[in-house]
Amino acid sequence: MRTLAGVAVLWLVSSWALATEVYKCTDADGRSVFSDKPCGDAAEKIRLRTSPVDTLATVEFLNVVWESLWQGSGYLQRMSKWDQPIRVKFSGASVDRHRELVLRQLRRVADIAGIQVTEVAGDATGANLEVVFIDARVNVPKDKLCWANMGPPAAAIKAAKITLHESSVKWCSLHEAMHVMGIVGHPHANSALSYFVRSHEPTEIDNFILKGLYSDEMKAGMYSLTAMEMYAKRYLDRFPSVTERAAKEKVVKKFLAEIVKQLESFAWGPGTPPAAVLKSKRATAEGLDWGRVEAQFLLGLVYTSGQIVEADHKTGFGWFARAASSAHVDAQFYMGEAYYQGRGVERDVVEAYKWYSLAARNKFPAAKTKILSLGKELTPQQISQGKARVTAWTSSPRKVLAIPSETAID
């Protein structure tokens, strides 16, 4: 069974060469750029050597970022963040004893993200974050000492709640503060979000993740694999030296290609999420089922867009079809796009009408507009055929999957 963790070990025992060749070229603006292939007659071949230690450090850094994108129940969650200042109120046992520490940790991570945090009185209205303390005398299971609740997954976080047992305030405050900022995963190490190594301070990678999430280019609702590619680019921007960046870029490309390969294994069924997800023992059958369908859709995006891997519209269409068969609404819309454009499949405007209609039924934002536009091109007979296909599809027995209804992250 192939897992999505231990990537560094996998590479270092593989035959991947640490010494590689790249070509140095000059772009239209006179800047030096590097490519795996010759880029003109004046291209200069450069031999780069990446030490095993540097390779391991890069892979470990990116692996923690990757793990942070995984909801504990077993799926990649889309990017979610605050689009307004946080107004926090405290309630429950011994508020005066604990509020200062929790408020400090909240402001620490919010400052990194560029989000203002203000406190409101416990009996006041207008708070969008509530922190509740459970009396130390109340017995609770050890794995239920603290949790964050942000409601059903959504692009913009509008309200949240943190619950802390008094015995856990010191250890959980920063952990849950990271969660309510929109970071759902539990990396294996090097993060305040780790179950396995608790930290009172945001790590270097925590800072990197928060700044990336709250950057202008990282949009709320963004697909997780697109976000991972963006994080990888931001990681490379940390290295101003063109030769050092070129060496790092080889490792980053290999990392991204490897997670796509392993995501394919998960999407087909035999693979698993990152080992950190399984080790946390929070994965559920419902979460893993949805994780595979979401992975199928993300792979469709990867192959049709040429994002991370070389574009292959036929393969991308196949992944969309698998996800759409389980009523994945985004995949249904992209099936409509594929049939309308003849991308990866023979063009069929009636079939496009069917898939756009199914996506519209599930409230995909752009689907209704597509139906209205396409309706102007179709004959009444074609529209009738499309509606009949929708009825046939919805009437057929199938396993329909949806995002798990869980709302708490511990």
pLDDT number for residue 376: 94
Please determine, for residue 230, whether its predicted confidence score (pLDDT) is greater than 80.
yes
Give the amino acid at 24. Answer: K
Tokens of 47: 């031999």
Structure tokens at 58: 């890069």
308 or 398, which is more confident: 308
User: Which of 307, 325, 358 finishes a domain?
Assistant: 307
Same domain, 203 and 297: yes
Mean pLDDT for 265-286 is 90
Show the CA angle centred on residue 244, arms to residues 239 and 246, nearest 5°.
100
pLDDT at 178: 96
* Nearest one of 13, 71, 60 to 406, comparing CA atoms: 71
Residue 157: give its domain's CATH number.
3.40.390.10
Distance CA 180, CA 169 (A): 15
- 5-31 tens-digit pLDDT: 445 444 433 444 455 666 777 777 777
CB 227 within 8 A of CB 219: no
Is the residue at 193 inside a domain? no
pLDDT at 366 over 90: yes
pLDDT at 28: 74
Taking alpha carbons only, the member of 346, 318, 347, 313 closest to residue 331 is 318
Let me know whether 207 and 293 are in one domain.
Answer: yes
353: domain range?
Answer: 312-410
Asked if residues 162 and 130 have their Cβ atoms less than 8 Å apart, the reply is yes
pLDDT tens digit string along 56-70?
889 999 999 999 999
Do 300 and 317 lie in one domain? The reply is no
**187 occurs within a structural domain:** no
Which residue bears the tokens 């200062």? 100
Q: Are strands 156-157 and 81-82 parallel, antiparallel or unpaired?
A: parallel
3-state secondary structure of 338: helix
pLDDT at 47: 62
Cβ 35 vs Cβ 20: under 8 Å? no
- Please write the tens of the pLDDT for every residue from 101-147: 999 999 999 999 999 999 998 677 899 999 999 999 999 888 788 99
pLDDT of residue 3 exceeding 60, the answer is: no
- Domain boundary residue, one of 307, 328, 352: 307
